[in-house]
Amino acid sequence: MNQQHPQAILVLPRLRIQNANAIASPLTHGFPSITAFTGLMWALERKLTQAGVPLRLQAVGVVCHHHQEQVTQGYVRSFNLTRNPVDKNGSTAAIVEEGRMHLEITLVLAVSEKRRPDTPATLVQGNDAQLASWAQIAGDTLAGMRVAGGSVLPSRSIPGKRVRPWMAIVPNDAEAAAAEFRQWRRQWLPGFVLVGRDDLLAERLRHLRTTPPDATLLDAWLDAARFNHQPLPSANDTPAPDGKVAWGDPLRPKGSGWVVPIPVGYAALTPQAHPAGTVRNARDASVPLRFVESVYSLGEWVSPHRLNNLTELLWQAETNETQGLYRCRNGYRSSPQSGSDSDTADDWDDADAYDYT
């Protein structure tokens, strides 16, 4: 992922979100889509510009400290739905299924400064008062916004943790930046960071094609999104004395990680965009419109202390007009100890999946 080096980070810690959207896409639920947070990033940047804060928000990272999906407990779960008032005829109003969840998250935003060439830089080391002022304005602005459809509640004080928004300069030297990141990530514990694992999806597709060669990306995604239990071979291929057979998922061994299916963006349904104003009831008639559907991949929840640098935490929006692909990418690379091929993501070609025929 080609990501511009951020000048600083803006951290909005321990945000308490009430009734956020738990349905991330037509096929997934359990946490808001990463596109909800990139959309929040752009909306916050526009509001900061109106407030006179010259910051450009480039990428966003999400750390989840607590989540509570509003569902009934049991083997089969269903969303807790609201009972709407009766309609004008006195009959029961239709129930529209909505998924909600309560969250406690930390948002980490990559920041650069908007300035003219003839003006001195403000986003520099030593300008702590200005950074603190900008962070406070950003926190106050976000308090009046929606986060993934949910409302922002006041933060609670936590001993030993920073709960107020703060900013810090990212050193240009790689070693110094890594040392600073090791200090920052301590503030995000306990929690889990959502990172992208396109490499696991490509690996699963190669595995499926060893038996049915016509397996598709959708087959690989569905296969990776579930547990596929089968008899496991015993040690040294010798049967157990009691005759019992161990069952499990050979592709999900113990310690393989918390891997989940996630939506990562959108793919166009038409080769070309419709000209502005030609589609009736469009949200904005001044811009071209293109119908899209969700794009899916795999993600993994990892502890912040397992990340090595800021790039592995951040998600950045990427647009490819030729392929009609609008998706978010993350810079995470799995370590050799995880048992997966870290070079798989570099060989991934979106054109194989999104070409028009």
DSSP 15-47: EEEEEEE---SSS--SS--HHHHHHHHHHHHHH
Q: Which residues pair with 153 in a beta bridge?
A: 16
In this predicted model, which residue has the larger pLDDT, 34 or 236? 34
pLDDT for residue 48 is more than 80: yes
For residue 349, is it within any domain?
Answer: no
Helix (H) or strand (E) holding 220: helix 217-224
Determine the residue type at 71.
V
d(CA 31, CA 105): 11
In this predicted model, which residue has the larger pLDDT, 92 or 19? 19
pLDDT for residue 223 is more than 50: yes
Confidence of residue 194 (pLDDT cuts 50, 70, 90): very high
d(CA 14, CA 7): 23
For residue 20, is it within any domain?
Answer: yes
The mean per-residue pLDDT over the stretch 296-305 comes to 92
Tokens in use for 210? Answer: 């060893």
For residue 295, is it within any domain?
Answer: no
Q: What is the pLDDT of residue 346?
A: 47
Confidence of residue 334 (pLDDT cuts 50, 70, 90): confident
Tokens in use for 165? Answer: 């928004």
For residue 247, is it within any domain?
Answer: no
Phi, psi of 298 (to 5 degrees): -115, 145
Phi, psi of 38 (to 5 degrees): -70, -35
Q: What is the pLDDT of residue 34?
A: 93
For residue 87, is it within any domain?
Answer: no
In this predicted model, which residue has the larger pLDDT, 182 or 356? 182
| Long-range Cβ contacts of 218-224 (<8 Å, 24+ apart) | 221/261, 221/296, 221/297, 221/298, 224/200, 224/251, 224/259, 224/261, 224/298
For residue 90, is it within any domain?
Answer: no
pLDDT for residue 323 is more than 90: no
Helix (H) or strand (E) holding 318: strand 315-320
Buried b (16+ CB within 10 A) or exposed e, 153-178: eebeeeeebebebbbbbbeeeeeebe
Confidence of residue 237 (pLDDT cuts 50, 70, 90): low
Helix (H) or strand (E) holding 130: helix 128-143
For residue 103, is it within any domain?
Answer: yes
The mean per-residue pLDDT over the stretch 103-120 comes to 87
Determine the residue type at 188.
W
Residue 170's Cβ-side half-sphere holds a number of Cα atoms within 13 Å equal to: 20
Percent of the chain exceeding pLDDT 70 equals: 90
Q: What is the pLDDT of residue 336?
A: 57
d(CA 139, CA 13): 9
Q: What is the pLDDT of residue 272?
A: 87
For residue 28, is it within any domain?
Answer: yes
The mean per-residue pLDDT over the stretch 331-345 comes to 56
What is residue 85's DSSP assignment?
A: P
pTM of structure: 0.84
Q: What is the pLDDT of residue 1?
A: 47
d(CA 345, CA 197): 8
Q: What is the pLDDT of residue 31?
A: 92
**What is the signed CA dihedral for 205, 210, 216, 220, rounded to 10 degrees?**
-40
| Long-range Cβ contacts of 124-128 (<8 Å, 24+ apart) | 124/169, 125/169
Output helix, strand, coil percentages for the chain, rounded to the nearest 5. Answer: 25, 30, 50
Place of tokens 């490499």: 199
Answer positive or negative: Cα dihedral of 327, 298, 147, 45.
negative
Contact indicator for 65, 149 with CB cutoff of 8 Å: no
Q: Which domain holds residue 46?
A: 8-71+96-196
| Number of independent structural domains in the chain | 1
Q: What is the pLDDT of residue 344?
A: 41
